[in-house]
Amino acid sequence: MSGAAPRAPSPARSAEPVLAVRDLERSYTLGAETVHAVRGVTFDVPDGEWVSIVGPSGCGKSTMLNLLGAIDRPSAGKVLVRGRDVGAMPDREATRFRLLHVGFVFQRFYLMPVLSAEENVELPMAEARVPRVERRARASELLSYVGLGARQQHRPSQLSGGEQQRVAVARALANRPALLLADEPTGELDARTGAGIISLFEQLNRDGTTIVVVTHDEQLAQAAQRVIHMRDGLIVKDERLRSR
Amino acid sequence: MRHRARTVLAVLGVAVSAALLLDMVMLSTGMRESFRDFLMVRGYQLRVAPKGTLPFDTEATIGGAAEVERAIVAVPDVIAVSPVLGAQVHVIGAASEGAAFALGVRGAVQADFELVRGHTVAGADTAVANAEFLALAGARVGDTVDVAAGFDPQLRIHSGRRRLVLGGEGRFFYTSAGQPAIALPLSTLQQMGGAERADRVSLVMARVRDGADVESARLALERSVPRVTAISVETALRQVDERLSYFRQLAFILGAISLGVGFLLVTTLVTVSVNERVGEFAVLRAIGVARGRVVQQVLLEGLAISLAGALLGLVLGVGTAQYLNVILSDFPGLPTGFAFFVFRPAAAWASLGMLFITGVLAGALPAWRAAGLPIGVTLRQEAVA
Q: Which helix (H) or strand (E) holds B192?
A: helix B186-192
- pLDDT on residue B52: 83
Do A108 and B375 lie within an 8 Å CB cutoff? no
B95-144 pLDDT, tens digit each: 566 889 999 999 888 888 889 999 888 888 999 999 999 998 888 999 99
Residue of A nearest to B292 (CA): A92
B177-208 pLDDT, tens digit each: 788 999 999 999 999 988 888 999 999 999 99
Could you give the CA distance from residue A49 to residue A243 in angstroms, rounded to a whole number?
Answer: 9
Least confident of A16-25, A159-168, B51-60: B51-60
Q: Does A98 touch chain B (CB under 8 A)?
A: yes
Residue of A nearest to B382 (CA): A108
Q: Does A165 touch chain B (CB under 8 A)?
A: no
Residues of B with CB below 8 A from A175's CB? 288
Do A63 and B376 lie within an 8 Å CB cutoff? yes
Query: A101 to chain B, minimum CA–CA distance in Å?
Result: 9
Could you give the CA distance from residue B208 to residue B214 in angstroms, rounded to a whole number?
Answer: 6
Span A207-227, mean pLDDT?
A: 93
Least confident of A33-42, B78-87, B239-248, B294-303: B239-248
Query: B382 to chain A, minimum CA–CA distance in Å?
Result: 8
Residue of B nearest to A97 (CA): B288
Residue of B nearest to A69 (CA): B286
Residue of B nearest to A184 (CA): B383
Query: A62 to chain B, minimum CA–CA distance in Å?
Result: 8
Query: B359 to chain A, minimum CA–CA distance in Å?
Result: 22
Query: B379 to chain A, minimum CA–CA distance in Å?
Result: 9
Could you give the CA distance from residue A66 to residue A91 in angstroms, rounded to a whole number?
Answer: 14
Do B289 and A66 lie within an 8 Å CB cutoff? no
Which of B283, B288, B274 shows the shortest CA–CA distance to B376?
B283
Question: In whole numbers, what is the pLDDT of chain B averaged over residues?
Answer: 87
CA R_g for chain B: 30
Residues of B with CB below 8 A from A114's CB? 2
B290-320 pLDDT, tens digit each: 999 999 999 998 899 889 999 999 999 999 9
Between B257 and A242, name the one with better pLDDT.
B257
Residue of A nearest to B281 (CA): A110
- Per the confidence metrics, is the pTM higher than 0.80? no
Torsion of CA A177, A183, A189, A190, to 10 degrees: 120
B134-182 pLDDT, tens digit each: 998 888 999 999 999 888 777 778 888 899 999 999 998 888 878 899 9
Cβ-contact B225, B272 below 8 angstroms: no
Cβ-contact B172, B336 below 8 angstroms: yes
Residues 6 or more apart whose Cβ sits within 8 Å of residue A197? A162, A165, A166, A169, A185, A186, A189, A220
Residues of A with CB below 8 A from B376's CB? 62-63, 66, 71-72
B45-70 pLDDT, tens digit each: 899 999 888 777 778 889 999 999 99
B347-382 pLDDT, tens digit each: 888 888 888 898 889 899 999 999 988 888 888 777
Query: Strands, E, within B173-202: which ranges?
Result: 181-185
Q: Which residues make beta-bridge pairs with B187?
A: none
Residues of A with CB below 8 A from B371's CB? none
Do A187 and B383 lie within an 8 Å CB cutoff? yes
- Reply yes or no on whether the pLDDT at A3 is more than 50: no
Query: Strands, E, within A88-205: which ranges?
Result: 102-105, 179-183
- Reply yes or no on whether the pLDDT at A139 is more than 90: yes
Q: For A95, which of B283, B288, B379 is closest by C-beta distance?
A: B288
Residues of A with CB below 8 A from B382's CB? 108
ipTM: 0.88
- Reply yes or no on whether the pLDDT at A123 is more than 80: yes
Do B290 and A106 lie within an 8 Å CB cutoff? no
- Reply yes or no on whether the pLDDT at A98 is more than 60: yes
Regarding beta strands B157-172 and B126-129, do their DSSP bridges make them parallel or antiparallel, or are they unpaired?
Answer: parallel
Confidence of residue B2 (pLDDT cuts 50, 70, 90): low
Residues of B with CB below 8 A from A165's CB? none
The count of residues in chain B is 385
pLDDT cut 90: percent of chain B above it:
40
Candidates A35, A57, A63, A66: best to mutate against B (most CBs of B within 10 A) is A66
Could you give the CA distance from residue A33 to residue A23 in angstroms, rounded to a whole number?
Answer: 22
Question: In whole numbers, what is the pLDDT of chain A averaged over residues?
Answer: 89
Could you give the CA distance from residue B154 to residue B157 in angstroms, rounded to a whole number?
Answer: 8
For B99, phi and psi rounded to 5 degrees? -95, 150
Least confident of A51-60, A189-198, B20-29: B20-29
- Residue B209 DSSP symbol: P
Query: Strands, E, within B173-282: which ranges?
Result: 181-185, 203-208, 228-232
Query: A215 to chain B, minimum CA–CA distance in Å?
Result: 13
Could you give the CA distance from residue A198 to residue A174 in angstroms, rounded to a whole number?
Answer: 19
Give the 3-state secondary structure of residue A202.
helix
Confidence of residue A12 (pLDDT cuts 50, 70, 90): low
- Reply yes or no on whether the pLDDT at B247 is more than 90: no
Q: For A108, which of B286, B289, B382 is closest by C-beta distance?
A: B382
Do B289 and A62 lie within an 8 Å CB cutoff? no
- Reply yes or no on whether the pLDDT at A6 is more than 70: no
Do A98 and B279 lie within an 8 Å CB cutoff? no
Do A71 and B375 lie within an 8 Å CB cutoff? yes
Please give the interface size between A and B, counted as residue pairs whose CB atoms are below 8 Å apart: 69
Candidates B287, B300, B381: best to mutate against A (most CBs of A within 10 A) is B287
Could you give the CA distance from residue B69 to residue B205 in angstroms, rounded to a whole number?
Answer: 10
Which of A75, A81, A91, A85 shows the shortest CA–CA distance to A24?
A75
Between A144 and B246, name the one with better pLDDT.
A144
Query: Strands, E, within B51-143: which ranges?
Result: 78-92, 98-105, 113-118, 126-129
Residue of B nearest to A188 (CA): B383
The count of residues in chain A is 244
User: What residue type is assigned to position B98 of the chain?
Assistant: G
For A160, phi and psi rounded to 5 degrees? -75, 170
Q: For B287, which of A113, A114, A124 is closest by C-beta distance?
A: A124
- pLDDT on residue B242: 83
Candidates A62, A110, A189: best to mutate against B (most CBs of B within 10 A) is A110
Cβ-contact B107, B121 below 8 angstroms: yes
Q: Residues in chain B whose beta carbon is closer than 8 A to a beta carbon of chain A?
A: 2, 279-280, 283-291, 293, 375-376, 379-380, 382-383
Q: For A62, which of B2, B285, B380 is closest by C-beta distance?
A: B380
Q: Which helix (H) or strand (E) holds A125?
A: helix A117-127
CA R_g for chain A: 17
Residues of A with CB below 8 A from B283's CB? 104, 106, 110
- pLDDT on residue B97: 66
Do A172 and B286 lie within an 8 Å CB cutoff? no
Residues of A with CB below 8 A from B380's CB? 62
- Reply yes or no on whether the pLDDT at A1 is more than 50: no
